[in-house]
Structure formats: C-alpha cells, structure tokens
Chain A
Amino acid sequence: MERRKFLKLIGLSSLFYHSLLRDLAAAEMPLVAVAEGSDHVRTTLLALAALGGIGRFVKQGATVVVKPNMGWDRKAEQGANTNPLVVRAVVQECIRAGAKKVKVFDRTCNDERRCYVNSGIEPALKGMKNVEVKHPEEERYRKVTLNGRVLKEWELYGEALSADVYINVPVAKQHGLTRLTLGLKNAMGIMGGNRGAIHKYIDTALADINAVLRPHLTIIDATRILTAHGPQGGDLKDVRVLNKVIASTDIVAADAYATTLFGLKPADIAVTVAAYRRGLGEMDLRKVRIVKA
C-alpha cells in the first residue's frame, strides 16, 4: 500500500476510533487484569478473558507447564497453597485451547505426597486427560548458566524450561524474610539444589533466576491471602478471603498490584524492586493499566 493511502486510512479510522492513538500508546503499558467474585473458577476465567483469553498464550499442540504453589502440607482454606479451583480453571482453559499436555508440579517443602493431596490440587486435577501431575524427579534438573549478580548457575527443572508455555500461578502470602511471597518468589518451586543457601541475598538471587525463567503468564491467586505467619500459616484467623484473581504478562506489575492488597506499597518489597531494576517489568502502578474484569 502506498504511504499516502496508508496515512489517509489511519486518519479516517482515528475519527471513528477515538481512542486509537491512546490505545496504541497504552499497548506499551503493561496490563494487569483483576477479577473479583466468590465463584473462584469463574473469577479466574474472567481474569484470563480480560487479558485476551488463554488462546493468546496457548496454541494448539503446545506443552504447557502450570506451576502453582503447592509447597506446604496445608488445606485449601488455610491459604498456604494456590487455590485448587484456580489451578483447575487454568488447566482446563489450557486443554480447551488445544494444549497437547499440561504438566503441574512443584518442589515442595513438606512431604510431597501430603502436599499434593492435602492442598487439594492433585485431587482437583485427577482424571483430567493430558494433564500430568507428578512429583519432580531428580534426573530432570538441568544446570542452567544464569550469569547473574549473585548466582552464576543453578539447577532448574527441565520440564519447566522445555515447555512451550510456562504459566506461573502463585498464591499471595506474607513471608517472614521477603515480607510477601508472590509471583517472582514462586520461581523457587522449580529450583533444585540447596535453596536455603540463597536466602542471604534473596532479592538479587530471585532477580537472577527470573531473568532467565520468563513466565508467559502470571496469575496470582488472591482468593484467600495469608496475612501473617506465612509462608505456611496454619491458623485460619490469618487468612483473609478476598475472592480476587490477578493476571498479567508482566510478573513485576502483577506482584506490585498484589502488594497493595496487603496494605503495602510495591517499593516495600525488596524482591519486586530488585526485579524492576533488572528490567523484568514495571512496578510503578501509575504506569500500569489495571483492568477490573
């Protein structure tokens, strides 16, 4: 098409589509979808739809990894693991979009059999075709060169690295060391080796890891948040039911928004700041488009 025709087309369409220019600029701004509702499955689907639907990320025949937080031997209502309904909704959407296989796993802190079962996630996914819920296997960890500021290399789970689509599904919780654990910290679930050893410089270490592992989609489960004695809680009094699900392609923006649910500012969380400084996303919520789904 010739240049003049093109310019005429743009000019005319902007008459009819007022916000075209603004939206073009907004395409630069990361989008954070926030859905709220007591039907947690529906809320998850709304959040995904606000981002353009799962089809934007999962194509026919793709291998998908859905990485929830399943680390603790706690029940769903205790808010220490990702809500099984949220996980199932995400997995079902991936299947619907034509995924060849959806793999769900986490490297747990308590006994893996108990965590997978008592979190409610393994039972929720039982019997679903093409969905694989397995405990991580030692032989599948691969040494990955990170060349980060504090971590030169680390063993990361092969299944997560080789997947076509990696969907990060953390639960929003309080944490003694990092104050909150959200999307960025959920990456620890695919780390092998002595994870405890990175706690002395955890914000920088997590930035190193997340610089290599870039999830296509981060869905933060804020249906039930753990407000104290995290990251495993135990006392139902520490759980706050918010019925929210946050979704974004920008992991830092998602974390930044989730931080506000705890009455804190994004800059209060050192992990978020370190990731922002590394260029992994936007933490200033004024520069983020928040869509209430």
Chain B
Amino acid sequence: MKKITSARISQIIFLIVFLILFLMTEYRGSDRIGAAVNAFFRADPLVAASTILALKGLAPLILPGLLVIAFSAILGRFFCGWICPMGTVLDLVTGKIRKTVPLIWLKGSLKYWLLLPLLVASLLNLNLAGLLDPLAILVRALTFFLHPLLGETAHSAWVGLYRLIGDRRDMLDPGYRIIRDYLLPFRETLYPLAFLSALVFVVIIWLERFESRNWCRNLCPLGTLLGLLARLSPFSRVPTSLCSDCRFCAKICHASFDREIFRKEDCILCMECRLHCPKQRVSFHLSGLKPVKGGPIMERRVFIGGLAGGLLLARLFRFRDPSVQARLLRPPGVRNEDELLKKCVRCGECMKVCLRSALYPAFFHAGIEGLYTPLLIPRLGYCEYNCTLCGQVCPTGAIPELPPEAKKREVIGRAVFDENHCIPFAKRMDCIVCEEHCPIPQKAIRTKTVTMTRFSGQQVRVRLPYVVDELCNGCGICENVCPLEGKAGIEVFSLKDKSPLLETTVEEPAEEASPYR
C-alpha cells in the first residue's frame, strides 16, 4: 500500500475545510455568519504582511497571519506543504499531467520581481496582495467562475426536468433542496472578470506541465515570502545535498532539488523524501541558527529593481475617469477610497457573500490599481437594508463590521432622479415604484401631487417623486426596481463626503401625509 504522509492528510483536511467554509460564505438564514472562508485569509501571511505595511500598524483581524509568519520562521515553509489549498489542488492533479522540461526563464529571480514590488506598493498604500495570493486566486476562481457554473448547470437541469415531467418533479424535490441549499449558490449571478479569474487559475494548473509545483516554486509571492522566512529556521534537513550513490530525492521532491544542494526556501516540508528514502538517511532536526549555504537570496539589482517596480506600480496607474468615478459605489461603511485601496486584499469574499449579488469586481472603473476591489452596481443588485454580511466576512476590515443600526446609517451614495426618463416627469403618468421600495422608515423618496397637462391635452394629477437627501443612504433599491427598461429613472451617484446619516426627522408636508394621523 502506498504510504501516505501526515502532510498529505493535513492537506486534504485543510482543503475540505476550505471548501466547506467557502460554501458557508453565504446567507444561511441567520443575520450573522458563523464561520467563513475569511478564516484562511486572516491566517494568510502575505495578506498580513501586505496589510501591515499598508496600514503601518496592526489590525487585530490579521493577527492569525502574524502567528503563521512566526511559525514559518521557526519551522519553515510548512504552510505550503500542509495547509495551502492551492498547493493541495496542484499536488492532486500533478500526477495526471505529463511533464516536459522545466521553463528556464521562470526560474531564478522572477519570484522576487513579483514579491518585492507587491510589498513595496503596499508600503506606498496600494495593497495588491490579493492579485497574486493563491488563496485569493482560488476563491475568485470559485466565486466568479466554478460555483456559478455549477449552480447554473444544476438549475438548468432542474428547470429542464420540469418542462419534461411537470409536477412529477416534486418527488425529487427534497433531494434537490439539499443540493441547492448547501452546494449551489442561491442566486444566479454573472460576474465580470469571470474569464480572467478562471484563466489565472487554469494557467497555474497548466504550468504543472513543466514541473510539479511550478507556481509554488517559481512564482507564488506567498511562497516566496515564506521561503525567505524559512531561511531563518533553526531546523535543518540532513543530508543537505543529493547523495552521490542515489538520486531518488530529486525524483520525488515536489518543490526543491533543482540543483544538487537542498534549499530551505524551496522545501515545503512535505516529508515525502523522509518517508520514501531507500536508505533511511533523511531527517529534519533542530540544528540551531546557522548561516545558510547556497549564496545570497537575491542579486542586488533584483532588490533595487523590485523596489523601483513597487514605486512604479503605486504611482503610475492612478488615472481615474471622472464620469466613471461619479458612479463608483463602494460597499456600506467604506468611507474613504484610499483607505479601501490600503486595506482591501481583493480576496472576493464580500462579493461571494452579498446576498443580493450587488457587489462585483472592478475592472478599470477604479483605475488599474482598483482591480478586483468590490463595486456596488445598483441596477444588478441593491444593498439589503438589514443585512451586514459583507462587513462580517472582510478579513482585513476594509469593509468595517458594523451592527445593523450603524450600517443602515452608512452612506453608499445618493439617489438622484433623471427627469428625462423617470415616468412621472417624462410621461406624466403615476409610478413611484422607487418610493414603494425605499426601506428608510421615514422614506427618503417622497411625493408631491401636482396637476399636469399631458401631451394629449388631458389634465391629470400626478405624484411627482423627490429624494430627501438627509435620509437617503444610497442602498440602490430604487434604481434596482425602476420599471424602465434600459436606463433607470433614478440612479445612485457617489459622494466624496460619506459621513453617515444623522438621526433626524424630516417633516412631511401636511397635504401629502398619511390621512390616519
């Protein structure tokens, strides 16, 4: 029987936990989410490092990440070999992929060219950790591509079944309900950047064609960071190079032994070599802090180039198109765009959990620097008044976790009527579906009944709607339900000053108020 390492068992367990937490990142009948996949992000060392640099201070949410950093400095790159779900996925599929020759140009300093600019950009207030973080890549591929694909396929099959056998489908209902409630996304959502997210994930798997754990060894910034920490580890492997009489390790090692000498920053501590050594020579033991063999980590030009790269990233891509900016809406509680760019690790959690599918990844809307940050698109989904899920799952607090009463006062934007389109103004007919749906208890949309002459000459009484600015929190339900096809008659525009709404009572004119009073 093939021997299984403890590392492999640990990997499988963490992958299953990851997938379960992913499926749990959804509204499940309670206002509070019990556990979510943000647990992985909070323990992610790259996210922690990047956020600390950006904030120039600590955020309590990412303390678990600091713990992993500390343990990595002691034990080595165990995260890659025992925990990382992306690594597990690669290990599981790599056996099925036939290998050709390793790509030379991927080797060497490329990984430092990726890691350093990322960290330096964070220092300069641009947190791009999530773009290349393996956990974020996995969550985005699942959220934007795989999970909706699964949901759409299952749902189409279910609907197709109804067209085929009609009400007899009810017999299968309990089974479908279980699948639908636990495995499928509730709402069918089409995400922008679905293709890009899927592509990045598929490319990482495709890279396995050249060598196993190709991404982990040569590209992954998280792995690279952990590798740097691993060099500090007091644990060492004996022997430190390939034995002259047997070269078995070079065959079975997933991550290291490209060269004769074993390198600590590559070793993912999977323990395969120790388990399978024909001569039982391999062991990992505490050897104390010794200077590491194998030369300096990187050349000086790579270091300086990395710094410069980070500077360029943070400064060169800041153009924002003003007309797009006017409609750039962020999740509730995000008051400052710069703060968001500092803290948001672009993990995709908030977009997964949003129960009305209101949040979508930005492409160029927020400049290139805003790629994958969350945008609220009211026409597609509005911010449910009593819901606080996005703040609960954000691993860094970029979207603050707020109690419902505080969240209701947070301003996303402000609704503005477009009188060229809005039916009462443009067509002189009644509508006010927006007013009907406004969740503010005092109604941020109110009406004034006026007499108008229709274009046909007929005199009519029409209820004209207007927005009460002091009460509107920009949730977007008005724009969402406007019955006009195409452009809505009311739209939410962004504001520079997003101070929360004050507790205030705005009186209604007597003739429009409820008759019951």
Contacts and interface: CB of A to CB of B under 8 A. Distances in A.
Interface of B is mostly: loop
Interface string A108-144: 0111011001100000000000000000011110000
B443 interface: yes
B473 to A, nearest CB: 13
Contacts of B35: none
Interface string B484-517: 0100000000000000000000000000011111
B157 to A, nearest CB: 12
Contacts, number: 98
Nearest to A264: B515
Contacts of B516: 174, 227-228, 240, 262-263
Nearest to A159: B167
Contact of A114 (B386, B441, B513): B386
A52 interface: no
Contacts of B463: 176-177
Given A138-B159, A227-B514, A177 B430 contact: yes
Contacts of B482: 196
Interface stretch (B56-64, B340-348, B431-439): B431-439
Given A139-B162, A177-B436, A113 B355 contact: yes
Given A174-B516, A176-B463, A110 B384 contact: yes
A291 B224 CA distance: 81
A200 B431 contact: yes
A194 B480 CA distance: 12
B291 interface: no
B256 to A, nearest CB: 49
A231 B427 CA distance: 24
Interface in B177-203: 186
A176 B436 contact: yes
Interface residues of B, number: 38
Contact of A233 (B163, B386, B427, B441): B441
A205 B484 CA distance: 17
A117 B29 contact: yes
A232 interface: yes
A128 B384 CA distance: 30
Given A240-B516, A263-B516, A200 B384 contact: no
Nearest 6 CB-CB pairings of A with B: A196-B483, A234-B441, A228-B514, A235-B441, A227-B516, A200-B429
Interface of B: 27, 29, 159, 162-163, 186, 355-356, 384-387, 423, 427, 429-433, 435-437, 439-443, 447, 463, 481-483, 485, 513-517
14 contacts: A111-B355, A113-B27, A113-B355, A174-B516, A179-B515, A195-B483, A196-B481, A199-B430, A199-B483, A228-B516, A234-B439, A234-B440, A240-B516, A263-B515
Interface of A: 73, 109-111, 113-114, 117-118, 137-140, 174-177, 179, 194-197, 199-202, 227-229, 231-235, 238, 240, 262-264
